Amino acid sequence: MDPIAYAVLLHDEALRERDAHRHPRTVDLCRRALELFEEHSGTGHPDVANVLTLLASAYDEAGAHVIAEAHHRRAVAVLAALPAEGELLRLHIEAATAFGGCLRRQGRYREAEGALRQALALAERASSDLDRVPVWNELGMLAKFAGRLDDAEAAYALAFSALEAAHGPDDPRLAALCHNLAGLAHSRGEFAAGERWARRSLALHRAGHPAGHPAIVADEAHLAALLHAQGRHGEAEPLLRHAIAYFTHRHGAEHHEVAVNLHNLASVRAALGDLAEAEVLYRAALAGKRASLGAEHPDTALTLHNLAVVVADRGATSEACAGRAGVPHPRRDRGRQASGAGGRRGQPPAAPRPGLPGWLGHSASRVRGLRIWKPPAHTMGIMRSEPVPVRLPSLRVRRLSAVQRIGQPLRGARHQGAEVDVRPFVRAGPQGTAGSRAVTFADRRTW
C-alpha cells in the first residue's frame, strides 16, 4: 500500500479511537502516522501538523501535558508558516485552540489566554461561527477556572447559540456545552440550575453514545457533584463510586479523572461525618493530582487544603499545619496567573472578590486552636469542563474526494527554508468560499 494512503488510514483510526476515549491507542496510531507523513510528505506539511495536534491532545487527555505542549507548539509553528485560508485556516485554529487548552490544564492561565486570543483572531477570519465555537468554549473554560465567571458565561453563550442555531436544541453536539454550563452554575452556587444543565448533558450523551461510554460515566459523576452540593449525598455517592471504579479500570489509579472523583467522594464522606474514610480518599486524590497536574497546580492545592482540614478535625493539628503551609493560596495564585494580581504572601484575603467561584470565597475557622482558611462546606474538586474540538480528518483524504481544487499553488509559504506548494490542500467550497465544509464537533473530556 502507498505509505501516504496507509498514514491516512492510521490517522482516521486514531480519530475513532480518540472519540472512544482510548487515548494510549490514539497516541500509538498518531505516532505511526506521523512517522510516515514526515518521511514521505516532509516535516512542514499540513498533514504533519494535523496529526501533531491530535497526538498532543491525546497526551493531554492522558495527563502528559509537558509532552503534549511540545507537540502543540510544533503544530502551531508548522501552520504559522502556511497561508491561513481554507482548510489550512481551520487546522491553524484547531491547533492554536488546543495549545491554549494545554496551557490551561497546567494552570498557566495568563499564557493560555494569550494563545487563545491568537486563536480567536484567526477564527474571526473564518466564514462560519462554527469555526469559532471551540475557541469560545475554551475561553469560557479558562475564564471559569480563573474566576471570571461573567466572562465564562458570555463565552459559553456565544458557543451555545452558534451550535444550537446550526444543529437544533436536541443535537448531541450541545452536550459538552451543557456540561460546562453545569460546572459554571456550580461555581456560582446555583446548584439546582446546574443540575438541570447536567441532566441535559447526560441525556444528550446517552442519545449519542452507547451505554457505558466514558462521556456518560463522566456526566454522571458531574451530576453527583451538584447533588452533593444540594445535600443529596445518598444520590451522589453511588455515582461517584461507580465513576472511580470505571476510570481506575480504564486509565489506572493515578489518572486525573480518578483523582477528581476521589476528591469529590471524600467531600461526600466528610459531609456524612466519616472523616476517617474522607482522609483516605483525600490522600489518594492528592497523589493522583500530584502525578497528573503537579504539586503547584491550584486543583492540587484545593485537595491538599481539604485534607489539612480533615486531618485537623480528626485532631492531628501539627500535620494539618504542615499541609496547609504547603498549599499555594488558590485565590492569590490564580489571580496572579490570570491578571498578575495577588494578595499578601501566605495570608488569606479579608474578603472574597466578587465574581470568584464559590470555593474561592472563604471563612476562617478555628479547629482545635488551628486557624485554617476553609472553603464552604460544599467544596468539591474543580468540576471538569469539556472542549468542543473540530474533528478534521487528514487533508490527504479530502484530496482524494471529488471536490474542485483551486488551480494555482499559493507560493511564498516556507517552513525550515523549503517552499511549500499548498495547492492540493485548498478547496473551493460552496458559495465560492475556499474550504467550506460541514464541521463535526466530537465531545471530548479534559481536565
Residues 349-384: tens digit of each pLDDT: 333 333 333 332 333 232 222 233 334 333 444 455
Distance, CA of 325 to CA of 301 (rounded, Å): 10
What is the pTM for the complete model shown? 0.73
Q: What is the mean pLDDT of residues 417-421?
A: 34
Q: Which residue has the higher pLDDT, 231 or 436?
A: 231
Residues 6+ apart with CB under 8 A from 437: 87, 427, 429
335 is written with which cell numbers? 489571580
- Within 13 Å, how many C-alpha atoms sit on residue 16's CB side? 6
Does 422 have pLDDT greater than 70? no
Per-residue pLDDT, 319: 53
DSSP-derived letter for residue 415 is: E
Angle separating helix axes 298-313 and 317-325, nearest 10 degrees? 170
Measured distance CA(278)–CA(264) in Å, rounded: 10
In angstroms, the CA 32 to CA 22 distance is 16
Please, which pLDDT band fits residue 21 given cuts at 50, 70 and 90? Answer: confident
Q: How does residue 317 score in pLDDT terms, banded at 50, 70 and 90?
A: low
Question: Could you confirm whether domain 1-128+391-434 is CATH 3.40.50.1980?
Answer: no
Instruction: Give residue for cell 474578603.
Output: 351
pLDDT digits (tens, 9 = 90+) for 245-279: 999 998 888 888 999 999 999 999 999 999 999 99
Distance of CA 320 to the CA centre of its chain: 31
Residue 297: pLDDT band with limits 50, 70, 90: confident
pLDDT in tens, 385-407: 666 544 555 554 333 222 222 22
User: Given this model, what pLDDT does residue 440 score?
Assistant: 23
How confident is the model at residue 374, as a pLDDT? 37
Q: How many CB atoms lie within 10 A of CB 162?
A: 19
What was the pLDDT predicted at 405?
A: 24
Distance CA 75, CA 186 (A): 35
Question: Residue 7: pLDDT above 50?
Answer: yes
Q: Would the pLDDT of 184 be above 60? A: yes
- What pLDDT digit, counting tens, does each position of 33-89 carry? 999 999 999 999 999 999 999 999 999 998 899 999 999 999 999 999 999 899 999
Q: Where are the domains of the chain?
A: 1-128+391-434
pLDDT at 66: 93
For residue 351, the one-letter residue type is A
Poorest-confidence range of 30-39, 139-148, 192-201, 381-390?
A: 381-390
pLDDT digits (tens, 9 = 90+) for 87-117: 999 999 999 999 999 999 999 999 999 999 9
Strands 414-415 and 418-419: antiparallel
Model confidence band, residue 124 (pLDDT cutoffs 50, 70, 90): very high
d(CA 172, CA 197): 13
- Give the range among 341-345, 377-381, 435-439 with minimum mean pLDDT: 435-439
229 CB-near residues (< 8 Å, 6+ apart): 186, 191, 194, 378, 380
Mean of the pLDDT values across residues 128-132?
A: 93
Looking at residue 432, its pLDDT comes to 29
Report the mean per-residue pLDDT for the chain. 77
Distance (Å, rounded) from C-alpha 292 to C-alpha 381?
A: 14
pLDDT of residue 313: 87
